[in-house]
Structure 1
């Protein structure tokens, strides 16, 4: 037998298979339709800090979001997908340029409903993977059974950061301070939802009706590991176009490639119902359940091995 990395991660790949099987079982049991959408598209969602990989004058999708929302607009109220997604220049201990993403949408739900469902999904997946209500990650015991913590981004800055959220935004250091000073503290003993992001960090999310300075977006953290990104969907095509144009301007001023406006998505958005959506990194979830802090340990092949 070849003495390779692949031979050393058999346990982790078995966990990975059980995780994906459990995810499918969860959504099928909750009356979701599994869908497949193209991974090569003419125009991705313009986002300032996510770079799509070019593919013969089109792009490999960074997420299946635009096509899945068009299915919502066409009358599919509960859909999910497990697929490969591609993000240029993303490589690190927790990042791969080609990753596996779980994305799901539910008409009539808000980001608060999505938090509850996210709890149910991960508890179910941990159980189906052979773990109980308490998991151990990097010598830290995590209680999945108790109600998970929720904290606004502003509260997290006040508690953990060296400056306020507004100061970080004004100095263009929001992402840096969040990653370095806040994220390591999140979800240390039980999972934590970090929610209500500033408008500038929620290009496709609905603004909060009683506080339009923040978007109805959350991320889930367990032991400092970010697992998902979710929000109440923005369904106003005029506002969405303005948001996209802003993201394109930021990209242009940064010297980055600017992809075409996804006009067919904007055209469909007027028919989309109120809904919530969530994108969860399967690789990250397997890292958590396999108790490893390196994404290479949970994939069959890394880019460098090909």
Structure 2
């Protein structure tokens, strides 16, 4: 049936209902798995002082009116991260949430301005534990949906296969012929001139005013991501520290960070971290991200000072966010994210 038909049409709903029921089974299976491992489900508030401080994430702003009648700008969160880390500072050790989140400037087959994020944290556990969790969730989703494989467009992935784990540097060398670590200083500071020279040698286009981050993103999207998660899932690990604003540096190489992303069928599903807990370093990274946002988009978001205060009390932890709707898409073979959302945004 045409996607122009409203979702509330009885005929279209009848077409969509089997996928939506599978969504419920997948969510129930993951909830059960987490509960059996002593995770507490929490319900973080969506209205926040800051929507997040990453340069290329865009929040929805609203106006809160206080009892004194004065207006104050607040935001719908782009992730429940800040609120959940405050709970870790308060003493929680294993928590998860199925949270509605909002991201502006995002709409397409894989993007909705409002979607569901599964986020979970493990206090005192290495971030590699999250990779094991992700593999389990892929299998749970496939079983709950009755699927032997994941599909998106022409791509196929076996959710029961062990994920292929490779570093960002290895992926850039393998798929783009780029020595990424050679473009990073000893402390992780990127060198755009060196990366531009390598791109030119490999025939990869770039603009004269592109930053190192712009160029890295172009290589990742055009040369690397199309190869990830085909046949079996891919864990893309050890991002440059300049691209991991909320992650701690790797102990064996400060140029890269304890950050990974999970891919299946070429689709990014999850973003995990060994969490940064140094408030001074986090403030510096937020400022850098907001400077970049100001440069590119002409705006910046406030810093949640309460979050930075809580960070000083947060224990070492690992945390991850997974796009739940995308997981349902791949498990059911749905072509668009709107097909797996009960009431998609008009």
Indicate the TM-score class for this superposition, using the shorter chain for normalisation.
over 0.9
- The C-alpha deviation readout for 1:71-125, integer Å capped at 9, x for no partner, is 0011000000001100111111110111110000010112211111211222223
How far apart are residue 141 of structure 1 and its match? 4.7
Q: What residue in structure 2 maps to residue 116 of structure 1?
A: 132
Contact 1:41 1:61 in 2 (8 A): yes
User: The residue matched to 2:307 in structure 1 has which SS?
Assistant: helix
- The C-alpha deviation readout for 1:249-295, integer Å capped at 9, x for no partner, is 11122243212111101001111111100100011001100112321
Gaps of 5+ in 1: none
Gaps of 5+ in 2: 1-7, 64-72, 184-194, 197-210
My pick for the range that moved more, 215-224 or 288-297, is: 288-297
Q: How many residues align?
A: 303
Q: How many angstroms apart in 2 are the aligned matches of 1:141 and 1:157?
A: 22
Contact 1:6 1:301 in 2 (8 A): no
**Closer, same or farther in 2 for the Cα pair 1:256/1:24, shift >3 Å?**
farther
Contact 1:108 1:275 in 2 (8 A): yes
Q: How many angstroms apart in 1 are the aligned matches of 2:260 and 2:94?
A: 20
Q: What residue in structure 2 maps to residue 90 of structure 1?
A: 106
Q: What residue in structure 2 maps to residue 40 of structure 1?
A: 47
Q: How many angstroms apart in 2 are the aligned matches of 1:177 and 1:5?
A: 39
**Closer, same or farther in 2 for the Cα pair 1:155/1:266, shift >3 Å?**
same
The reply to whether residue 16 of structure 1 matches residue 58 of structure 2 is: no
How far apart are residue 6 of structure 1 and its match? 2.9
Q: What residue in structure 2 maps to residue 275 of structure 1?
A: 317
User: The residue matched to 1:254 in structure 2 has which SS?
Assistant: helix
Q: What residue in structure 1 maps to residue 333 of structure 2?
A: 291
- Please tell me the root mean square deviation across aligned C-alpha atoms, in Å: 1.9
Contact 2:152 2:334 in 1 (8 A): yes
How far apart are residue 200 of structure 1 and its match? 1.9
Q: How many angstroms apart in 1 are the aligned matches of 2:255 and 2:176?
A: 20
Match of 2:285 among 234, 237, 243: 243
- The C-alpha deviation readout for 1:149-197, integer Å capped at 9, x for no partner, is 1011111111112644342673731112211221111111111100111
My pick for the range that moved more, 100-109 or 111-120, is: 111-120
TM-score (norm 2): 0.83
Alignment of 1:171-186 (within 5 A): 172-186=214-228
Q: How many angstroms apart in 1 are the aligned matches of 2:337 and 2:41?
A: 26
**Closer, same or farther in 2 for the Cα pair 1:275/1:172, shift >3 Å?**
same
Match of 2:37 among 16, 30, 37: 30
Alignment of 1:126-165 (within 5 A): 126-132=142-148, 134-135=149-150, 138=153, 141-161=156-176, 163-165=178-180
User: The residue matched to 1:20 in structure 2 has which SS?
Assistant: helix
Q: How many angstroms apart in 1 are the aligned matches of 2:332 and 2:213?
A: 38
TM-score (norm 1): 0.93
Q: How many angstroms apart in 2 are the aligned matches of 1:60 and 1:41?
A: 6
Q: How many angstroms apart in 1 are the aligned matches of 2:213 and 2:286?
A: 22
